[in-house]
Amino acid sequence: MTGASLVVTDLRVEFSGFVAVGGVSFDAHPGEVRFLIGPNGAGKTTCIDAVTGLTKGTGSARLGDEELLGKQVHKIVRLGVGRTFQTASVFDELTVLQNLDIAAGLRRSPVSLLRARRGVDPSIEQALEETGLAGELATPAGILSHGQKQWLEIAMLLVQDAKVLLLDEPVAGMSHDERTATGELLQRIAAKRIVLVVEHDMDFMRRFATRVTVLHQGQVLSQGTVAEVQADPQVQEVYLGTAGAATTAAMAVVPEPLKPTED
Ligand SMILES: Nc1ncnc2c1ncn2[C@@H]1O[C@H](COP(=O)(O)OP(=O)(O)OP(=O)(O)O)[C@@H](O)[C@H]1O
């Protein structure tokens, strides 16, 4: 395992006296696909909002030696922490390549954007390859499929050389094939980076998670491997009580062995 880890300790976030996150601790290391799951309102998005500086939190969120809490959003981005949102935030009218250029900070004048290009920046080429978007270079982002838009967002984080990718419900609304492709993509990029996925999709979690933290009402209910959290009676109780039989059935399926990631 190489690179710094993300270590969140006793994270607490309040909104006007309402405790949304009440002392949550978890860590995430390069080389694993880390999941944060839990019912609606459990505090998952608030945790990543606090880590990325969008919401104020107390406690600690360290990336290696750097404390993230209390830093401004752009400084956290500069430290290599990137995130996606539940709704893809790409520029629909620009091509895939133009979106990636902007993400890479290679802003060009409107004239040079219109000029024929000599070549593609190597970091962009690599991100296109990794995300399977190499054939979509000139496609306007607005006409990409839902899955491809999410992959473009991930590619934008890769060209920024993000060390930490915090992904909020990356497979929501995707087809089965797109979910599988996304899981495989996450396994590939996690080989050298920290990947933390907030998800509702239990089948996706079961197939691709290395370790899981289950949140409930702003607290850690359980953490461990997929098999360990599935076997936890507290997790079963929360999902029985709040998420219905479909989720419970998905949680109960024995996990498939993980494919080894390539380095
Ligand atoms: N800006 C805010 N002001 C007040 N309350 C908020 C704010 N943001 C979140 N909350 C509340 O904090 C709690 C946790 O919300 P959060 O969005 O983190 O949950 P979640 O686990 O991500 O849920 P979901 O899966 O539905 O996205 C919820 O009760 C939510 O209503």
**Residue 149 vs residues 128, 132, 224: alpha-carbon distances, Å:** 12, 12, 31
The whole-chain average pLDDT of the chain stands at 86
The structure tokens 């694993």 sit at 32
pTM (2 d.p.): 0.86
| Domains by residue range for the chain, with CATH | 1-80+163-263 (3.40.50.300), 91-160 (no CATH)
Dist. CA 131–CA 152, nearest whole Å: 7
Minimum CA distance residue for ligand 1 atom 4: 15
Calculate how far, in angstroms, residue 19's C-alpha sits from the geometric centre of ligand 1: 10
Rounded mean pLDDT of 172-187? Answer: 93
Core vs surface per residue 179-198: b (16+ CB within 10 A) or e: bebbbebbbebbbebbbbbb
Instruction: Give the angle subtended at the CA of 172 by the CAs of 38 and 132, to the nearest 5°.
Output: 125
**Ramachandran bin of 189, using left for φ above 0, alpha for ψ from -120 to 50, beta for the remaining angles:** alpha
Dist. CA 46–CA 54, nearest whole Å: 9
Substitution site in 26, 46, 54, 166 for ligand 1 pocket (most atoms within 8 Å of beta carbon): 46
Question: pLDDT tens digits, residue range 140-162?
Answer: 999 999 889 999 999 999 999 99
**171 CB-contact burial (10 Å; exposed 0-12 / middle 13-18 / buried 19+):** buried
Calculate how far, in angstroms, residue 234's C-alpha sits from the geometric centre of ligand 1: 22
Question: Above 90 in pLDDT, residue 207?
Answer: yes
Question: Above 50 in pLDDT, residue 246?
Answer: no
Q: Which two tokens mark 61?
A: 């969120």
Minimum CA distance residue for ligand 1 atom 28: 41
Backbone angles phi, psi at 116, to 5 degrees: -60, 140
Please answer whether residues 97 and 47 qualify as being in contact, where contact means their C-beta atoms are separated by less than 8 angstroms. no
ipTM for the complex shown: 0.96
Across the strands, what pairs with 36? 198, 213
Which atom of ligand 1 is least distant from the CA of 215?
21
Calculate how far, in angstroms, residue 134's C-alpha sits from the geometric centre of ligand 1: 36
Q: Who lines ligand 1 at CB under 6 A?
A: 15, 18, 20, 38, 40-46
Question: Above 50 in pLDDT, residue 211?
Answer: yes
